[in-house]
Structure 1
Amino acid sequence: MQSVIESEFNAHLKTTQATMNAISTQLEMAVNLCTNSLNNGGKILIFGNGGSAADAQHIAAELVGRYKTERRGLAAIALTTDTSALTSIGNDYGYEFIFSRQVEALANKNDIAIGISTGGSSTNVINGLQAAKNSGCQLIGFSGRQGGKMNDLCDINLVIPSEDTPRIQEMHIVLGHTLCHLIEQTID
């Protein structure tokens, strides 16, 4: 059992180092996009499936509430929380439209859309990002593996350099926390 524990922690550390080396500049750019949007009255829409849905909710909560610093609440909405909207859209239009339909209703020009997808190609996340692009939003992806379809769609796609789903998901929440921390440090 101890060897498995050690192996899991070492895999996490290896992925953490590779991620830091690969995307720190892009993460800084993402923070600047978010801060500029929030300072200009915009909001951040965040969405994903499964564990990525939980990450979307976690990140939105840190922004609306606080991460570490006392400051004004920041406009962030996880599109994964309204079960009535999710189930009615899924039933009436199809699961692949659960985010895009909400984006159509809520997004304004200069908002930020953050799509979270471990492989970067979840159909409903891609559709949500495309709807956000059509609404004039800037797009940030949290993905992994090779980045998937998000590479061509997002203004910034933060690709975790791993093929291992648990490692990608672990890094997504580290990205989310770092994003929140830096927004708190730079918001007006």
Structure 2
Amino acid sequence: MKLVTDVTHCDDLMKALEGFREDAPLIQRWGTALAGRLGGGARLLVAGNGGSAAQAQHLTAELVGRYREDRPAFSALALHADTSSTTAIANDYGVQEIFARQVAAHGRDGDVLMLLSTSGASANLLVAAEEAHRLGMTVWALTGPAPNPLQAAADEALCVEAATGATVQELHLVTVHMLCEAFDQAVAQRDRERCAAGRKRQRRWTASGEDAV
């Protein structure tokens, strides 16, 4: 008997992608803003649970390493990746504190905290958002359908309207890649502007020297 492949998952993804395209300007703005922040010495902290933790670590890997073209490394930490810290904090303070405690340790005024959750209701992410705001950090969230608690707790949120958590996570990965692309574009543009400014200063210096002679 010939088996028929179920393409419902693909259909759900295509349907969700139609609405997701409207979030492209927000992702572009986030990437540009993040390039400015990290280029100025700030850092990005990222957290999620389960599959969202994998997405969070994917993002930090692209920023510390590279996305496509070679460029300088930037500071980005996936908070779940420090297993000794997370397990110690869970044991001593409770699971709800595993990210907030690390935000308190690593976060500074001007840093960015990005939180990923398909449900938008993870208690440990909500507590982390509260701690980040206490420190003066900016909080961005990637969630599933709105409204949800994490959307309300963040400064800005991209809420994926999809039928399943799997589809939400897939579009979170698309977001990660689009964010990195926007980030790299902004870094490259900043470098071009700095080079142009340097050449302009050099021309002024040369002209001034010639005039002096």
Do they fold alike, i.e. is TM over 0.5? yes
The structure 1 segments of at least 4 consecutive aligned residues displaced by more than 4 Å after TM superposition are none
Which has more radius of gyration?
2
**Aligned residue for 2:109?**
109
Counterpart secondary structure, 2:96: helix
Q: Measure, in 1, the Cα distance between the counterparts of 2:147 and 2:52.
A: 15
Deviations, residues 77-131 of structure 1 (Å, cap 9, x unaligned): 0001111100000000000000000000000111110000111110001111111
More displaced 10-residue stretch of structure 1: 88-97 or 161-170:
161-170
Alignment of 1:3-152 (within 5 A): 3-4=5-6, 6-21=7-22, 23-152=23-152
Q: Distance in 1 between matches of 2:134 and 2:163?
A: 31
Aligned counterparts of 2:64 and 2:4: Cα–Cα separation in 1 = 40
Structure 1 position 156, deviation (Å): 1.3
Across the aligned residues of Structure 1 and Structure 2, the Cα RMSD in angstroms comes to 1.2
Equivalent residues of 1:118, 1:143 under 8 A apart: yes
Q: TM-score w.r.t. structure 2 length?
A: 0.84
CA distance in 1, matches of 2:112, 2:4: 43
Question: How many Å apart are 1:10 and its aligned residue?
Answer: 1.8
1:161 and 1:8 map into 2 onto residues whose CA distance is: 14
TM-superposed deviation, 1:146: 1.4
Q: Secondary structure at the match of 1:162?
A: coil
Mapped to 2, the partners of 1:98 and 1:154 lie a distance apart of 18
Give per-residue Cα distances to partners, 1:51-99, cap 9 Å, x unaligned: 0011111110011000101100111000011111000000000000000
- Partner amino acid, structure 2, of 1:148: N
Preserved contact between residue 44 and residue 112 of structure 2 (Cα < 8 Å):
yes
Corresponding residue SS for 1:80? helix
Q: Which runs of 5+ in 1 are unaligned?
A: none
Report the count of equivalent residues. 186
**Contact in 1 for aligned 2:27/2:182 (Cα 8 Å):** no
The one-letter code sitting in structure 1 at the alignment partner of 2:63 is: L
Listed as ranges, the gaps of 5+ residues in structure 2 are: 191-213
* 1:14-66, Cα deviation, whole Å (9 max, x unpaired): 11111112x22222222233122112110100000000011111110011000
Q: TM-score, normalised by structure 1?
A: 0.94
2:185 paired residue number = 185
1 CA distance for matches of 2:163 and 2:109? Answer: 34
